[in-house]
Amino acid sequence: MGARAALLHAITNPTHWDALILISANPGIESAAERSARAASDTGLAQRIIRDGVPAFLEFWQQTAIIRSQQHIRADWRGSMQQYRLQHTAAGLAASVEQFGQAACPNLWPQLNKLQCPILLISGEHDLKYCTIAERMQRAQPQAQWIKIPDAGHMPHLEAPEATATAIRRFVQQL
């Protein structure tokens, strides 16, 4: 969700940004039918969170294909993440899904051309969906660089922190 928030802010306020680093970013759902289906799915997920509670939701969510790769995060980091996640409230998580999930956010694909600053797109090589999205974003943005982090999934900054930090350092040095 961090990349989604940064991308939305950068498109809304392009003059405020000198550069943009986006990890596992998605500019949005383009199809009205897909957006509607996702909204229905998100509503169901929010209801499930409220009904079953945070621990049950986390158990389910952490086994989804896109999140499962987080099992490769260092054990001490993963433990801290889990402690923080368990502090969430069911109402807060449900609101997050419904109010800032993919279906609730605007489709930013048509507005990508507003970004004129240097852009670094990062995705983990095992996150095929977000690699495809990053590749498409790079084609839409000639100034964008795309780095695919080896042996990482949806959270390359935590699953392969050294490789991700190296990519970010190189990008920043070019600025």
Q: For the CA atoms of 61, 36, 2, 66, what is the dihedral angle to 10 degrees?
A: 30
Supply the pLDDT for residue 36.
96
- CA-to-CA distance for 26 and 129, rounded, in angstroms? 10
Supply the pLDDT for residue 1.
81
Domain residue limits, the chain: 1-28+106-175, 30-104
Supply the pLDDT for residue 142.
87
- CA-to-CA distance for 31 and 140, rounded, in angstroms? 18
- CA-to-CA distance for 175 and 163, rounded, in angstroms? 19
Those residues of the chain that have pLDDT short of 50 are none
Supply the pLDDT for residue 112.
94
| pLDDT tens figures, 103-130 | 999 999 999 999 999 999 999 999 999 9
The encoded tokens of residue 54 equal: 């945070």
Total Cβ atoms within 10 A of residue 31: 10
Fold that domain 1-28+106-175 belongs to in CATH: Rossmann fold (3.40.50)
